[in-house]
């Protein structure tokens, strides 16, 4: 090893010396000792690797003060939880990777008393004995949708699996080829069907399926006719799908129930808010479907859950399936779901107060105002890194809901100068809290539709920090 490397190694302060440093001592009073020691080891290890490396290490990096500063930064990083808040500036409202739906304030207010205390989760207060956890939402689901019976599980994937396993295990399920979809994150209808033990009988073609295709496929082993909402894609042009009502009539003729996996499952008619018509849960039930399944955290705007509604005898069979115990809903989810559903008793209030619905229905005028407000906080920033513009654009509902719906929105766009769009995206993603935008037209777009107003100041700070970022040293002024 060359002389100067040896000399550099000797200059590295020992762990004990660092632990005795006043700033580290102070940190020790607020942080677990193991964490502080780990931060020191990691910083020293990085330093040793740097000395071994090709690029010469400056003497400055070996100064105790500089090392201490790096240890403190590293400690902050290590003490951060893994699951953290981010600012969603993508404009995708139901963003599966960013946690889908935000719970309403009314729902959040329920967490402290109910999750921090005992509850009648599985206890009948009127009879003084064991009760069912499903009663806490079934009454509301029936009231809101007109369903004969209802049941909830962990998520919609579980709802589909459980329903198929109960109603069609060892039998045949007839489904259109145009509906054999894959939903993000590896939920594929043919795979779920296989896991349930049912045999899939595909009918029709990718773009067209007729009623007679279903009828010809019905045999002695047919247990179910299945319809699946194609969610995140749509076939346009020369296409034909059998309406649910026709499928139900066909089922009645042969005594076979129809199941509809609605995916998103909305309770409000979005067309009254100027949007593309989505079949509502109530519509599907009115047409006489046997069972429907949908998610709790997509268009419903509640917690992750799978909701099963339908005819008494079918839902009863599903509830009594042994598998239900393995897919059962947690009490935190249950309390959030009940409170979210209670808000739907007044649909106008639901649209105003359930964040997912509020963001989807936000008017262009309102978004324009929000963009002005955010822009005002960052106007006049003096930087050569980027410039700031406002422009129109489109947001997305996300979560496989209303895939063709364009939601006109207002964007703050950071136009690359010294920093590339990719660098801007990366720096904002590494901010605390992380800001997730989208790169489009070689700019970084921040869509005000999904940025919460309470985050405006924080976002402005992040943009100001980006303005001061030095692309030459790859550092912000406060980083060592």
Minimum CB distance to ligand PLP smaller for 166 or for 231: 231
Minimal distance, residue 237 CB to ligand PLP, in Å: 22
Minimum CB distance to ligand PLP smaller for 209 or for 264: 264
Minimum CB distance to ligand PLP smaller for 13 or for 398: 398
Rg (CA), the chain: 28
What are the structure tokens assigned to 377, written together? 């906080």
φ and ψ of 468, to 5 deg: -90, -5
What are the structure tokens assigned to 326, written together? 């393995």
- The span of 153-161, 268-276, 338-346, 448-456 binding ligand PLP (CB under 6 A) equals 153-161
If one asks whether residue 295 binds ligand PLP (CB under 6 A), the answer comes out as: yes
Minimum CB distance to ligand PLP smaller for 187 or for 456: 187
Which residues 252-281 are close enough to bind ligand PLP by CB under 6 A? Answer: 261, 263-264
Minimal distance, residue 332 CB to ligand PLP, in Å: 16
Pairing of strands 187-188, 182-183: antiparallel
Minimal distance, residue 48 CB to ligand PLP, in Å: 46
Minimal distance, residue 187 CB to ligand PLP, in Å: 5
Which residues 162-221 are close enough to bind ligand PLP by CB under 6 A? Answer: 183, 187
Q: Which residue is nearest to ligand PLP (CB)?
A: 263
If one asks whether residue 400 binds ligand PLP (CB under 6 A), the answer comes out as: yes
364-378 helix and 456-468 helix, angle to the nearest 10 degrees: 40
156-168 helix and 189-196 helix, angle to the nearest 10 degrees: 50
How distant, in Å, are the alpha carbons of 86, 420, 465 from that of 468?
A: 21, 15, 5
Phi-psi region of 197 (alpha: psi -120 to 50; beta: other; left: phi over 0): left
Minimal distance, residue 301 CB to ligand PLP, in Å: 13
Q: In whole angstroms, what is the distance from residue 462 CA to residue 430 CA? A: 10
Minimum CB distance to ligand PLP smaller for 399 or for 437: 399
CB 261 within 8 A of CB 121: no
Residues counted in the chain: 480
Residues 315-344 as x/- pattern, contact with ligand PLP by CB under 6 A: ------------------------------
Minimum CB distance to ligand PLP smaller for 152 or for 414: 152
If one asks whether residue 95 binds ligand PLP (CB under 6 A), the answer comes out as: no
If one asks whether residue 155 binds ligand PLP (CB under 6 A), the answer comes out as: yes
22-30 helix and 33-52 helix, angle to the nearest 10 degrees: 140
Task: Calculate the CA 304 to chain-centre distance.
Answer: 9
Contacting residue, 70, 74, 145, 156, with ligand PLP by CB under 6 A? 156
Pairing of strands 123-124, 306-310: unpaired
Q: In whole angstroms, what is the distance from residue 160 CA to residue 193 CA? A: 9
φ and ψ of 392, to 5 deg: -85, 155
Q: Which helix (H) or strand (E) holds 22?
A: helix 22-30
Phi-psi region of 84 (alpha: psi -120 to 50; beta: other; left: phi over 0): beta
Q: In whole angstroms, what is the distance from residue 85 CA to residue 75 CA? A: 19
Minimal distance, residue 270 CB to ligand PLP, in Å: 16
If one asks whether residue 101 binds ligand PLP (CB under 6 A), the answer comes out as: no
Q: In whole angstroms, what is the distance from residue 289 CA to residue 140 CA? A: 19
Minimal distance, residue 284 CB to ligand PLP, in Å: 13
Residues 346-365 as x/- pattern, contact with ligand PLP by CB under 6 A: --------------------
Q: In whole angstroms, what is the distance from residue 234 CA to residue 179 CA? A: 10
Residues 130-149 as x/- pattern, contact with ligand PLP by CB under 6 A: --------------------
Minimal distance, residue 269 CB to ligand PLP, in Å: 19
Minimal distance, residue 231 CB to ligand PLP, in Å: 4
If one asks whether residue 18 binds ligand PLP (CB under 6 A), the answer comes out as: no
Minimal distance, residue 267 CB to ligand PLP, in Å: 16
Minimum CB distance to ligand PLP smaller for 164 or for 351: 164
Which residues 224-253 are close enough to bind ligand PLP by CB under 6 A? Answer: 228-229, 231
Q: In whole angstroms, what is the distance from residue 200 CA to residue 442 CA? A: 45
Q: How many residues bind ligand PLP (CB under 6 A)?
A: 15
CB 301 within 8 A of CB 268: no
Minimum CB distance to ligand PLP smaller for 323 or for 381: 323
Minimal distance, residue 355 CB to ligand PLP, in Å: 18
By CB under 6 A, name the binding residues for ligand PLP. Answer: 155-157, 160, 183, 187, 228-229, 231, 261, 263-264, 295, 306, 400
């Amino acid at each position: 090893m060359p002389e100067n490397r040896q000399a550099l190694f000797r200059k590295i302060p020992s762990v004990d010396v660092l632990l005795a440093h006043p700033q580290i001592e102070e940190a020790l009073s607020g942080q677990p000792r193991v964490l502080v020691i780990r931060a020191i080891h990691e910083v020293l290890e990085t330093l040793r690797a740097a000395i071994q490396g090709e690029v010469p290490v400056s003497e400055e990096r070996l100064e105790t003060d500089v090392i201490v500063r790096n240890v403190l930064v590293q400690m902050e990083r290590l003490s951060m939880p893994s699951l953290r808040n981010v600012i969603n500036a993508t404009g995708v409202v139901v963003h599966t990777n960013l946690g889908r739906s935000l719970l309403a304030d009314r729902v959040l207010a329920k967490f402290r008393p109910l999750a921090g205390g005992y509850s009648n989760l599985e206890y009948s207060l009127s009879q003084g004995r064991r009760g069912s956890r499903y009663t806490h939402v079934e009454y509301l689901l029936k009231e809101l949708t007109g369903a004969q019976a209802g049941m909830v599980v962990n998520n919609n994937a579980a709802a589909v699996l459980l329903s198929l396993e109960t109603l069609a295990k060892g039998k045949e399920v007839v489904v259109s080829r145009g509906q054999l979809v894959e939903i993000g994150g590896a939920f594929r209808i043919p795979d779920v069907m296989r896991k349930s033990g049912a045999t899939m009988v595909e009918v029709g073609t990718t773009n067209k399926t007729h009623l007679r295709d279903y009828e010809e496929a019905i045999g002695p082993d047919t247990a179910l006719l299945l319809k699946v909402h194609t969610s995140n894609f749509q076939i346009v042009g020369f296409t034909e799908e059998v309406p649910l009502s026709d499928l139900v009539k066909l089922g009645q003729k042969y005594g076979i129930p129809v199941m509809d996996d609605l995916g998103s499952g909305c309770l409000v008619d979005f067309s009254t808010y100027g949007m593309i018509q989505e079949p509502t849960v109530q519509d599907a039930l009115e047409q006489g479907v046997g069972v429907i399944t949908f998610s709790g955290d997509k268009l419903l705007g509640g917690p992750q859950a799978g909701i099963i509604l339908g005819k008494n005898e079918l839902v009863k069979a599903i509830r009594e399936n042994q598998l239900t115990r393995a897919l059962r809903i947690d009490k935190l989810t249950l309390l959030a779901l009940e409170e979210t559903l209670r808000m739907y008793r007044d649909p106008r209030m639901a649209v105003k107060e359930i964040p997912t619905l509020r963001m989807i229905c936000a008017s262009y005028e309102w978004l324009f105002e929000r963009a002005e407000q955010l822009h005002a906080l960052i106007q006049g920033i003096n930087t050569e890194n980027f410039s700031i513009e406002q422009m129109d654009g489109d947001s997305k509902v996300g979560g496989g809901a209303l895939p063709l719906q364009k939601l006109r929105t207002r964007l703050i766009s950071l136009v690359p100068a010294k920093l590339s769009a990719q660098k801007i995206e990366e720096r904002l993603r590494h901010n605390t809290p992380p800001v997730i935008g989208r790169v489009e037209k070689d700019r970084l777009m921040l869509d005000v539709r999904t940025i919460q107003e309470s985050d405006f100041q924080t976002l402005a700070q992040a943009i100001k920090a980006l303005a001061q970022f030095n692309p030459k040293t790859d550092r912000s002024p406060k980083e060592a």
